[in-house]
Amino acid sequence: MYGLFAGFGSAALELTRERMLAAIEQVAPAEVDFYTDGRAVSLALLSPRRPEGAAVIEWSRGGRLGCALDGYVVTDRPGASAVQRGELVRLIESVGLDRALAMLEAGSFNVATLDLDRTVFTVANDRVGSIPLYYAPVPGGCVVATAPYLATACGLVTGEPDLTAIAELVYLGHTVGDRYYSKAMRRLPPACTLEWDDPSARLSVTATDLSPIRLGPADRRPDIDQIAELTRTACRRVAGLSDGNALLLSGGMDSRLILAAWPDAARLPCYSYGPREFADVMLARQVASVRGASFTHVPLPGSQVSASIDEMLRLSGPPAFPSRYLAARRIGQDGLDTALDGYAGDVLLGGSFYDVGRFLSRPERWMQLANRLGDRRVREVGFEALVEELYESLVDRGAADWLARHADGDVVRLLTAQRPTILQDIWTVLREMAPPDGSVAVAVRDFKLMQKALHSTINQGVLCRRFVRVAYPLFCDNALLRATWTIAPRYTAFRQLYVRLFRKHFPAYAAIPYAESLLPLRRSPLAHRWAKSFRSYGIRFPLKTRAVIEERYDEWNAWLRESAALRGRAIGLLADLGLSGPAKLQAAIEPIGSGEAKGSGDLFHVGAVAQLVSPLRCSA
């Protein structure tokens, strides 16, 4: 599903069906369920195909309490998606929205409730904000949208750029906190509710107590048997929602775990993408063969990226992930309705977000060579140092050179001047999640997850929603999330827990090499750690099957080199944004076609902002 688009108060009067449909056609074709009371609320759910039995709003309390669900929920009642939607409405009517959300077993969703007796409208998201939702206060009302472009296209919000957000995109690759590229819009944080009280014309955003950040310090030893069973249960829950599931499978661990834990009786066709000889694709094919699942490789020519790039950018905003968009399109064309994504499983089980070496002494860093994670308390490091070092660990070292090649000097100065505000954004977010006596490793993990993953990586799922629904069996299952979030970092760091889980409970899948190390997962966690380090120095462990093992391979470079149309669109977008004049941009970008220069996704990640805001020069 594309998702939710709503106007409350004065915005409801502006958001007519005709105006909304005109804006939607600028994004992509969609089936639209639309509801309006003509005064206080206009609400639409957009989808590539309408699920059987779905309606824009399900009503209870004699038609006075309505619920619109974007995404999926799993309650303790068995049944497919339609049953789960009905049960959610019953729970909300029975115990209220907050308690109903706390009682859910799993879910990736935004849900809007309409209480016509009180004329109060509430929008809430799931515990981890897995479907980005944006809102913009307007005089006498509010706009809410999963696709921010729609609010701009309808003329409901202004396009004044947020320079700090754009600088964060350039230097970090994503925004921080609730900041968005348009000053008018903000991102709803995870585990929050947004309420519009129409009689008082009051907008409020409130954090619930459901965020995993609130679970406390990670101090629990893992029970591998329990985690294996919880993973199987999480997959069973999602399998019961639809018969049309497909798995986006790689040679890594997250999607491999879903396939290994998927119910034996449920089929699960697998899809992969990238160069056919790439190790990730080759190993994914081997993983699928363990289960006997069908395997489809989706080619990604630059011509298809070029033909779809505007739709991608309008649908999701920056950054764009054409690989997921084109793979999801193939899944939909094959008659399936749900793509399974292993998103953030590695955060819970693999510990790859514990980048704390810069905060440790030299002996503690040496200990990490033996997979022994060092840690400190926040007060020992100092909050100011933590903020500065976290910024340094996130910043793209090539961003300054990239700007110098593509942007005019005045724009460079505008964006460079945002560094203090970026640091302030990091400070603000960290203050909410890093108590003085808390673990630095946990603070770094939580910050990177709730910023980089939810502000950037999650757009992969957003792009899939153009063609299919998206389910996250691992990270959006509440029991599995609670059980893994509180495990001590020393047990998960360096993928220790992940490797041990496969070795004990899924040995057939552990026999297949892991794409990052090129060693079978049945080898020890330390072996995988060192194999990855050796590869960074050019020392490789050859596979029996020939494969392209080139870590510097960049699909964006290949697409831009292949497609003159794609290069031209990059020039147009960056010029529309006001980054520089067409002549300078053409001089920097056209040599990509001959191989004299290297292309990158930044051309479109940054250029996509032009779809949402007025030119940067207007704000200088």
Q: Is the pLDDT of residue 540 over 70?
A: no
Instruction: For residue 552, name the pLDDT band (cuts at 50, 70, 90).
Output: low
- pLDDT (average), residues 33-48: 89
Cα–Cα distance between 217 and 195 in angstroms, integer?
31
Q: Is the pLDDT of residue 52 over 80?
A: no
Residues in the chain: 620
Cα–Cα distance between 581 and 481 in angstroms, integer?
48
Per-residue pLDDT tens over the stretch 342-399: 998 888 888 778 888 888 878 888 888 888 888 889 999 999 999 999 999 899 999 9
Cα–Cα distance between 137 and 118 in angstroms, integer?
21
- pLDDT (average), residues 76-105: 94
Q: Kindly state the helix (H) or strand (E) to which residue 339 belongs, with its residue range.
A: strand 338-340
Q: Is the pLDDT of residue 134 over 90?
A: yes
* Residue pair 48/332 in contact by the 8 Å Cβ criterion: yes
Q: What is the pLDDT of residue 171?
A: 97
Q: What is the pLDDT of residue 554?
A: 84
* Residue pair 302/584 in contact by the 8 Å Cβ criterion: no
Which pair of tokens denotes residue 296? 């489809």
* Helix residue ranges, H only, 478-540: 478-485, 489-492, 496-505, 507-510, 525-536
Per-residue pLDDT tens over the stretch 226-244: 999 999 999 999 999 999 9
Please tell me whether the peptide bond between 319 and the residue prior to it is cis, using omega within 30 degrees of 0.
yes
Q: What is the pLDDT of residue 24?
A: 82
pTM: 0.94
Which range, of 38-47, 416-425, 595-604, averages the lowest pLDDT? 38-47
- pLDDT (average), residues 561-568: 96
Per-residue pLDDT tens over the stretch 163-221: 999 999 999 999 999 999 999 999 999 999 999 999 999 999 999 999 998 887 777 78
Query: Euclidean distance between the first and final Cα of the chain, in Å?
Result: 38
- Percent of the chain, pLDDT > 90? 68
Q: Is the pLDDT of residue 18 over 90?
A: no
Enter the DSSP assignment of 617: G
Q: What is the pLDDT of residue 618?
A: 46
Per-residue pLDDT tens over the stretch 579-616: 999 999 999 999 999 999 999 999 999 999 999 999 98
State the chain's mean pLDDT as an integer.
Answer: 90
- pLDDT (average), residues 530-545: 62
- pLDDT (average), residues 443-462: 90
Orientation of helix 163-172 relative to helix 419-433, angle to 10° = 80
Enter the DSSP assignment of 608: G
Q: Give, in order, the Cα–Cα distances in Å from 149 to each of 108, 141, 513.
A: 22, 18, 42
Instruction: For residue 545, name the pLDDT band (cuts at 50, 70, 90).
Output: very low
